[in-house]
Amino acid sequence: MSMTFAGRVAVVTGAGAGIGKATALAFAAEGLCVVAADVDVHGGQETVRQIQAAGGIALFVRCNVTLEADVKQLMEQTVNTYGRLDYAFNNAGIEIEQGRLADGTQDEFDAIMGVNVKGVWLCMKYQLPLMVAQGGGVIVNTASVAGLGAAPKMSIYSASKHAVIGLTKSAAIEYAKKSIRVNAICPGVIDTDMFRRAGEADPRKAQYAAAVHPMGRIGTAEEVASAVLYLCSDGAAFTTGHALAVDGGALAI
């Protein structure tokens, strides 16, 4: 598998923690210039600090992906700083719903759809023209195994991730002849700060999460990052419009 990343440029949203941070660090380790974007200034700056401390090249840009002006500015700053955009990992997302569908609120719906769906759409809206102009590029969007099936007591979240996969597949077909590949990554339960917070609130969730994965454990952010790098690599040159599950076999049951 060819991993010819050196000297290229990647944008990672939600880069301040979890999967986004792990992927930003992995990109940088492969020699990419990384633009780490997050609404969390402290987290995003810490990711950049770690990249730079390891000898990598990185820039932090504060970005709320639900705001078109922020997303537009993020892409403009990327090109103004590094001259191009080769890879985009649209990873920013939230998971705030824990109840039956009829118990959900409009505020929950708007918040989840705003970040998870509108955010991905806005990012691609401004990334795709840049990639067309330069002759190609790769986009990976973060969906979820909840986007490939049902997620009881997380129906809004599940719907948002189904929507991400729909956006991904549609964009992949629209831009396939422009040398732009668009795929989605669909993690199972991953050991992130978000998961740990849920586990602290209800320790049973951690035990259940491990049990539903045939491998008998939850995944790591670094394992998801490796899958993202594969989808961006030349080794995946004939892969587009695909939703790749990284789930320890959960969907195979």
pLDDT for the residue numbered 145: 96
How far apart are the C-alpha atoms of 119 and 114, rounded to whole Å? 6
Residue 106 confidence (pLDDT) above 80: yes
Pairing state of beta strands 243-246 and 180-187? parallel
Other CB atoms closer than 10 Å to residue 204's CB: what's the count?
8
Taking only Cα atoms into account, the Rg of the chain, rounded to an integer number of angstroms, comes to 17
Mean pLDDT for 120-133 is: 98
pLDDT for the residue numbered 202: 64
Give Cα 210 distance to the centre of its chain: 22
Other CB atoms closer than 10 Å to residue 99's CB: what's the count?
13
pLDDT for the residue numbered 39: 98
Mean pLDDT for 140-160 is: 96
How far apart are the C-alpha atoms of 25 and 23, rounded to whole Å? 5
Where in the chain are the domains?
9-189+222-244
| 15-24, 85-94, 135-144, 197-206, range with the lowest pLDDT | 197-206
Mean pLDDT for 185-208 is: 75
**DSSP characters over 172-241:** HHHTGGGTEEEEEEEE-SEESHHHHHHHHH-HHHHHHHHHTSTTSS-EEHHHHHHHHHHHHSGGGTT--S
pTM over the 0.85 mark: yes
Tokens 């732009």 locate to 180
Mean pLDDT for 149-160 is: 95
Residue 195 confidence (pLDDT) above 90: no
How far apart are the C-alpha atoms of 176 and 166, rounded to whole Å? 15
pLDDT for the residue numbered 232: 98
What share of the chain in percent tops pLDDT 90? 86
Residue 206: pLDDT band with limits 50, 70, 90? low
- Smallest CA-to-CA distance from 241 within 182, 177, 180 is with 182
Other CB atoms closer than 10 Å to residue 51's CB: what's the count?
25
Query: What CATH number has the domain spanning 9-189+222-244?
Result: 3.40.50.720
Mean pLDDT for all residues in the chain: 94
Among 82, 157, 208, 230, the active-site one is: 157
Mean pLDDT for 84-97 is: 94
Cβ neighbours for 202, distance < 8 A, ≥ 6 positions apart: none
In this structure, are residues 185 and 246 in contact, taking their beta carbons and an 8 Å threshold?
yes
The pLDDT tens digits of the residues spanning 52-83 come to 999 999 999 999 999 999 999 999 999 999 99
Question: Has 230 been annotated as catalytic?
Answer: no
pLDDT for the residue numbered 1: 44
Residue 9 confidence (pLDDT) above 70: yes
Residue 200 confidence (pLDDT) above 70: no
